[in-house]
Structure 1
Amino acid sequence: MKIVAPLGKVDDVAPLVRAGADEVYCGLVPPDWSATFGAWTAINRRNAGNLASYEELDTVTKQAHALGKTVTLTLNASHYSESQSKYLLDFAGRISGIGVDAVLVSDSGLIVMLAERRFPFKIFASSLCACRNSSAARFYQDIGGSRVILPRDMSLEEINGIVSAVPEVEFETFIMNEGCLFEEGLCHTTHLPNNEGGAFCLDNYRVEYRRHDGEPLPETERRAIEQNERDYREWTWYRFGCGFTVTEEGAPHGPCGLCAMPTLDEIGVTALKIVGREAGLLRKVRSVQMIKAVRDMIDAGKSAAEIRGFAQGLRRREQLCESGYMCYFPDFIAHPGKVACHA
């Protein structure tokens, strides 16, 4: 399984590859995009952590290729207007000339347009395509996709069913960092820089509850509502990287699927994706190193139980795993080794 690492700066390439990354992915916001469509009109899902120029993309691509690795560029805004799509066809010509290996696309119309023009790069269907069954996977294959990034919160059994039904398509799953509170494919917001409010779903709202009949809330109802709010805040804390905290060595807490890697490997998943282009370099490097350490154990023939113990001990905070909130694949924690994989 390939390790797919996020990149936000030119200087990220070499450290990520040294740590064990097989592929890097990045975003680019050309100055004329912002000038044409507005600073808050996203060319991809992240308004932060993007390269700033074609020259930077060219440098990243040359560095990665010199190290034997590939570069994927994100074009994964939820949708694009007609004028934006026309712009992106010219944009695609420029990045093709640079030598980008693949583009990550969420708008099915843009996938068709790119495929019809037969650019040399591969087309990957983003998790925002919400590909949750084999028919959807075949659809994206038919319109030009060679890889599908599966949505978060799919069970291992569901992943196995899709991969086994469409073996000619590559499949990528999320493996570390940052959950999503809702279904990405039905989300039409974006991730703003933290100083502009961050992700919309992290809004620190305040709620006042009233009974519709105008009567005061009984104490039992008030306590139940307050407990529900505390539980929700705890859940969102886990989903967003345990408050984006790290260990003393810089290893990130937060959503993780390391324990399930042996099963994902047996299923036939092609690639494992680390989230967070805008994150600090150390966080990204440590993420790559943790995944590579588990992959090395798989390659060495270690048992699933040994790998699970190793993975859960990497952060020395086993209680975070025990909560169940931090796991990308909670079905594995509940029933380890119970997924029947089919070739």
Structure 2
Amino acid sequence: MKKSKVELLAPAGDMERLIVAAEYGADAVYFGENRFGLRSGVGFSLEEIRKGIQYLHDKRKKAYITLNIIPHNDDFKGLKEYVLFLRDSGADAVIVSDPGVMVMVKDWAPNMDIHLSTQANTVNLWSALFWYRQGVKRIIMARELSLKEIGYIARNTPEDLEIEAFVHGAMCISYSGRCLLSMYMAGRDANRGECAHPCRWGYALCEQKRPGQYFPIEEDERGTYILNSKDLCMIEHIPEMVEAGIESFKIEGRNKSAYYVATVVGAYRKAIDEYFKDPRTYRFKGQWLEELKKASYREFTTAFYLSKPESSQNYESSNYVRNYDFVGVVIDYDENTKMAVVQQRNRVFKGDRVEIIGPYREYFEQVIEEMYDEEGREIDVAPHPQQVFKIKVEHRVKPYDILRRKKV
């Protein structure tokens, strides 16, 4: 192990999620404009990137910017100006998968740290050493590696080469995300941030001379979702991740909600901090895993980390498991009146029992006994998206605390 403490790295699809990630315990956040990252559906404006970097630095946290598309010639338009902008805005690193992009970063921002994306498919020691010699500061390991393999790479690379690996989130059916299925079936290039997720679709067999007659593809008796991966979850294996020499624990999910980010970051923050209090006496707490299950997920797997995956696919459905609704976000609290101002995310009623979560503390439950609109009129329901309402909360809350409600 190269360091005594690991970094918890969180995703952000907009400024709200960036702030939530930082508030709930991330040490660093990765985000970016949608032109050059592998999430075309989410993205920051240039001004938001500047503000996001400044916000994170004010919190003594780091900002990593995604430049990890696999670009064609036309995709380089505007890249030089973007790299210069990131350099001048103080980004701590850029995440890159393509050598051409790397050359441009080294030419125009020579002091910028370069993190090699998992899309570059680093699966062996000699590739890691090659990229180190090209000036790469950190390598994000391919998802197909075991902890044993990662440990071997970490032990045999220079001390100043950092190792990052995914700890939680959606998995891809293809080799570290390099997939052509979306482009072939939907005309959307996954390698340029436009994945349509055809691996989540249901498939059937159709015989050429019997059009319209579909036969299920039964890889086993459970169903037909032959490409549908479960979600990665390594919260029960923090010691093994640390001992393998992984220095940054990465959470997947730039498309996920602020509630998802808060829940997952908060759970891993507690587990990591508990481990580093005293690794010798560390014991996993089941409530951390139960907390993760209160965010949306597709069952859990340890993928390739512990052994070759034998049950990492869900053949029954590609649907998420959603046991809780994201009700709202606290935006203010008056300690004298004990009234919390909340911005709605899902319809909520007077009489609902909710759980309220916040950074670095356990959640608490309460029934919404009083509800008012912004003008102070009593209401029974907040039905409108992002409607602002007020409720009485006995325990002190603060901005970015989150309300959730168990599904019945």
Q: Same fold (TM over 0.5)?
A: yes
Asked if 1:134 is matched to 2:125, the reply is yes
User: What is the deviation of 1:158?
Assistant: 0.7
TM-score by length of 1: 0.74
Which letter maps to 1:10?
A: M
CA displacement at 1:200 relative to structure 2: 3.3
Check if 1:173 corresponds to 2:175: no
Aligned counterpart, 2:17 = 12
- Structure 1 stretches of 4+ with a deviation exceeding 6 A read none
Q: Which runs of 5+ in 1 are unaligned?
A: 30-41, 215-221, 240-253, 335-343
Contact preservation (8 Å) 1:93, 1:119? no
Within 2, Cα distance between the matches of 1:315 and 1:285?
10
Which of 299, 306, 326 lines up with 1:331 in the alignment?
Answer: 306
Q: Name the CA shift for 1:255/1:267 in 2 (closer, same or farther; >3 Å).
A: closer
Does the residue aligned with 1:331 lie in a helix, a strand or coil? Answer: coil
Change in Cα spacing, 1:120 to 1:75, as seen in structure 2 (3 Å) is same
CA offset digits 1:81-126 (Å, max 9, x no partner)? 2x53363122101121111111101102221332244433211100
Deviation digits for residues 146-185 of structure 1, max 9, x if unmatched?
A: 0011111311111101111113310110011101111026
**Pairing of 1:198-217 with structure 2 (within 5 A):** 198-208=196-206
Provide the secondary structure at the position in 2 that maps to 1:277.
Answer: coil
Tell me the SS of whatever aligns to 1:306.
coil
**What is residue 248 of structure 1 aligned with on the other side?**
none
Name the structure 2 match of 1:338.
Answer: none
* In structure 2, C-alpha distance between the alignment counterparts of 1:176 and 1:307, rounded to whole Å: 16
Give the whole-Å Cα distance in 2 for the aligned partners of 1:47 and 1:23. 21
Number of residues of Structure 1 aligned to a counterpart in Structure 2: 289
Tell me which residue corresponds to 1:156: 147
Q: When you count strand as a share of all residues, which structure comes out higher?
A: 2
Q: How far apart are residue 273 of structure 1 and its match?
A: 0.7
Mapped partners of 1:304, 1:158: distance in 2: 26
Residue 329 (structure 1) shift = 4.7
Structure with more relative contact order (C-alpha pairs < 8 Å, separation 6 or more):
1
Are residue 104 (structure 1) and residue 81 (structure 2) matched?
Answer: no
Radius of gyration: which is bigger? 2
Q: 1:192 to 1:136 in 2, by over 3 A?
A: closer
Where do 1:78-93 residues align within 5 Å?
78-81=70-73, 83-85=74-76, 87-93=78-84
d(CA) in 2 for partners of 1:142 and 1:229? 49
Higher helix proportion, which one? 1
Q: 1:50-129 alignment to 2 at 5 Å?
A: 50-51=43-44, 53-81=45-73, 83-85=74-76, 87-129=78-120
* 8 Å Cα contact 2:154-2:246 kept in structure 1: yes
Identity of aligned residues (%): 24
How big is the shift at 1:27?
1.9
Question: Post-superposition shift, 1:294?
Answer: 1.0
CA RMSD of aligned residues (A): 3.2
Matched-pair contact (CA < 8 Å) for 1:71–1:100: yes
2:29 matched to 1:24? yes
**What does residue 39 of structure 2 align with?**
46
Q: Residues 14 and 43 from structure 1, CA distance in 2 versus in 1: closer, same or farther, beyond 3 angstroms?
A: closer
Superposition TM-score, scaled by structure 2 size: 0.63
Match of 2:318 in 1: none
In structure 1, C-alpha distance between the alignment counterparts of 2:144 and 2:293, rounded to whole Å: 25
